[in-house]
Amino acid sequence: LPLEGLQAGGSGPLYLKLRQSLEDAIQSGKLNHGDALPPERDLADYANISRVTVRKAVDDLVRDGLLVRRHGSGTFVVKPVSKVQQSLSRLTSFTEDMARRGLNTHARWLERGLYHPSPDEMMALGLPADALVARLGRLRIADDMPLAIERASISAEFLPDPQSVTSSLYTALDKTRSRPVRAVQRISACNIKDPDASMLGVAVGSAGLSIERVSYLASGRVVEFTRSLYRGDAYDFVAELTLSE
């Protein structure tokens, strides 16, 4: 990193000069996306400046989304993201949405089992307290980018064995002939907090989209109640609007 001349060159606060040289290093590819930043102590020694100054410059770049801190492992250069555009009006699964864009999906399981429903689940799924609900919590990853945290609740009647969901929930529901045909989805803006932020690899406070989907069978029964949190920098919803007659 070209940090030697920091003290000498130009006027202005040191931390801004350091910030600029780190930014230049990212832009010019000297620091690549996914690279770890050298420890702050090394940067300070190398550039012959205080650690406070280094921290201030790094904080700035984290706030602006160029760097991300991961607990226990260091500070990394953020991969620039191209947004995934999602049509608002089609009832598709995450796996299908990503496959259409040529992206492979995988998941990190956060939760997968049968439970008694929470009050929210009882309301959304129309179930009594002693019923059973399959809960599927997943960090959903497209190619290598964590895109969303998704927590789905399905009445055990439609999904008696949550372990049968290996990759796609909708494929598993197809098999029990309970794939939803209609859904109501609510989207709202939020700021992503920890631990979600570190799972998604974004700075705490970054913009997110919070999405709730309630899906129905043709009979009108509710199949699915799902809460998702998408990275705001990686997801776009697109709706086609027509003038009604």
Interacting residues with ligand GLP (CB under 6 A): 93-95, 150, 152, 168-171, 211, 213, 224, 226, 228
Q: DSSP letter string over the chain?
A: ---GGGTTSSSS-HHHHHHHHHHHHHHTTSS-TTPBPPPHHHHHHHHT--HHHHHHHHHHHHHTTSEEEETTTEEEEPPP-PPEEEESS----HHHHHHHTT--EEEEEEEEEEEPPPHHHHHHHT--TTS-EEEEEEEEEETTEEEEEEEEEEETTT-S-GGG-SS-HHHHHHHTT---SEEEEEEEEEEPPTTHHHHHT--TT-EEEEEEEEEE-TTS-EEEEEEEEEETTTEEEE-------
Q: How far is the CB of 65 from ligand GLP (least distance, A)?
A: 24
Q: How far is the CB of 69 from ligand GLP (least distance, A)?
A: 28
Q: How far is the CB of 133 from ligand GLP (least distance, A)?
A: 14
Nearer to ligand GLP, 3 or 223 (CB): 223
Q: How far is the CB of 228 from ligand GLP (least distance, A)?
A: 5
Nearer to ligand GLP, 44 or 148 (CB): 148
Nearer to ligand GLP, 91 or 207 (CB): 91
Nearer to ligand GLP, 54 or 84 (CB): 84
